[in-house]
């Protein structure tokens, strides 16, 4: 597939350094292009993976408003959410909300959904990945240390699995670890292969 993709211009429309790192891990050539200011609201009736898919598609639409695509351009947009007890956890607004989110996740199982959208000038495809994450109980000291030291305000659910908190809190994962980081690269690889055929 590397050979076939040489004919295409892959664009990652994401500010996330984790997504950049993961896409780089696939050995693909790509550029990063983002337009700040996109609206991340969604209809209240949406739940779970439907939120992540809706937002990934919305980011693609926003990108298309700003940039005209050529026939061989493929834009990758993604959105990750954390779902626990019937509630969506997005990115925390500040320290207080980050502490609240981690307290909610402490000792519980939660689900991470990432919606990914591939868009070209002529077609669009979207898919999602679902991973169950089991956290051990976290003390208030551990939560406060993590929030103060790592400032996880750009992460859904206020944590990064690849950071200190992931090392000490995650007891078990069912599904893709990379999905928890923000990009299910296994599914993305398969989706890209189908997309260019």
CB-count burial class (<10 Å; 0-12, 13-18, 19+) for 2: exposed
Helix, strand or coil, per DSSP, at residue 40: coil
Q: Detail the DSSP E strand segments found in 46-107.
A: 73-84, 87-89
Structure tokens of 99? Answer: 């502490």
79 labelled catalytic: yes
| DSSP designation for 136 | P
Give me the catalytic one of 39, 70, 79, 125.
Answer: 79
C-beta separation of 157 from 105 below 8 A: yes
SS3 content of the chain, % helix, strand, coil (to 5): 40, 25, 35
Question: Which residues are part of the catalytic machinery?
Answer: 79
């Amino acid at each position: 597939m590397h050979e076939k993709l040489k004919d295409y211009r892959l664009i990652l429309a994401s500010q996330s350094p984790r997504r950049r790192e993961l896409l780089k891990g696939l050995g693909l050539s790509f550029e990063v292009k983002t337009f700040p200011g996109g609206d991340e609201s969604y209809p209240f009736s949406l739940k779970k993976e439907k939120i992540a898919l809706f937002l990934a598609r919305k980011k693609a639409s926003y990108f298309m408003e700003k940039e005209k695509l050529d026939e061989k351009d493929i834009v990758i947009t993604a959105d990750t959410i954390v779902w626990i007890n019937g509630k969506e956890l997005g990115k925390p607004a500040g320290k207080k909300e980050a502490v609240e989110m981690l307290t909610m996740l402490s000792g519980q199982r939660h689900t991470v959904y990432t919606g990914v959208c591939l868009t070209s000038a002529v077609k669009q495809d979207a898919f999602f990945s679902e991973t169950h994450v089991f956290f051990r109980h976290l003390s208030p000291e551990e939560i406060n240390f993590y929030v103060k030291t790592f400032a996880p305000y750009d992460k859904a659910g206020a944590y990064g699995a690849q950071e200190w908190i992931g090392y000490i809190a995650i007891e078990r994962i069912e599904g893709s670890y990379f999905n928890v980081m923000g990009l299910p690269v296994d599914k993305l690889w398969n989706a890209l292969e189908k997309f260019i055929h």
